[in-house]
Amino acid sequence: MKLEYKPIEKDTLDIIYVKRTNQPYRGMNWHFHQEFELIYFLEGHGMRIVGDHISNFNQGELVLVGGWLPHLWRNDPNHAKGTNSDFIIVKFLKEFKGIDLFSIPELSRINKLLYNSRRGLLFPQDVLPQVHHLMIQLSNCKSSEKFIIFIQILHILSQVDNYQCLANPEFVSPSHANHENRLQKVINYVFSNYDRNITLEEIAGVAFMTPPAFCRFFKNRINKTFFQFLNEFRVGKSCQLLINGEKNIKQICYEVGFNSLTNFNRVFKSYNHKSPSEYRAIYRSINQQDV
């Protein structure tokens, strides 16, 4: 499997592509495209990779991904329990026939938002009440109304200051898809084998490289070592299990590929600044308040 270039899936001359999908979501490969992408999950949960950032996504997530920034949203069929994902994707270009649509002074804040989206932006939950109905309306409307609602949404998002930048500033977006085939194979391999011990020799073999060459290659592309990436991926998986299941922490520890509970607790706390038991307790407390 390859890091793929995905153009806008449209048959018209519209500059805005909008699609709402409700299905058992498995996700596509790590991919990139020229267009900006705004994705809103009304239902669903799974893993998210944006550039070199790895985390889990849940219902109510709104993310803006800049052009050329590699990304994927994927759930685990073993943990999805047959639940569907309901999400809206909006893809759009900044220019149309050589004209920068957001260059006028009145849209300067939106222009800045789009510039910052080169790292991927995760918006806070408190903005969702302002955009929820607009996103649904956008997925159902046509023609000029679509553009008006689209600008309304971007205007609201451009007023937000407390969004989270996902990818690190040092992450380098790919210059050509063919150069990333090895990296895609490594990511796919991790998705399928994170629950067992993966050696450096093994993963280097997946990329058809020697271990030293693989270490340099991976660090240059992802801005972290392979085992940092693997631990971050495993922690993200464990967060899903802590939130969405009733398995005890020791079961989760081994299910996501850690070989000792002590090591699992240490690595988990280094990423989340709290232990797995504290993480689960905080989530359950918040969840009960929402009931």
- In the DSSP assignment, the letter for residue 34 is S
Which domains can be identified in the chain, with CATH numbers?
4-165 (2.60.120.280), 177-290 (1.10.10.60)
d(CA 188, CA 112): 34
> Collapsing DSSP states into helix, strand and coil, what is residue 31?
strand
pTM of the model: 0.82
Neighbouring residues of 170: CB distance < 8 A, sequence distance ≥ 6: 223
Going by C-alpha positions, the residue among 194, 196, 286 that lies closest to residue 243 is 286
Terminal CA-to-CA distance of the chain, rounded, Å?
Answer: 42
Query: Tokens representing 56?
Result: 């889990």
Please report, in tens digits, the pLDDT of each residue of the chain (291 residues total).
Answer: 445 556 555 444 478 999 999 987 666 677 888 899 999 999 988 889 999 899 888 899 999 999 999 998 987 655 545 567 899 999 999 988 888 889 999 999 999 999 999 999 999 999 999 999 999 999 998 778 999 999 999 999 999 999 999 999 888 776 555 556 788 889 889 999 999 999 999 999 999 999 999 999 999 888 899 999 999 999 999 998 998 778 999 999 999 999 999 999 999 999 999 999 999 998 887 666 554
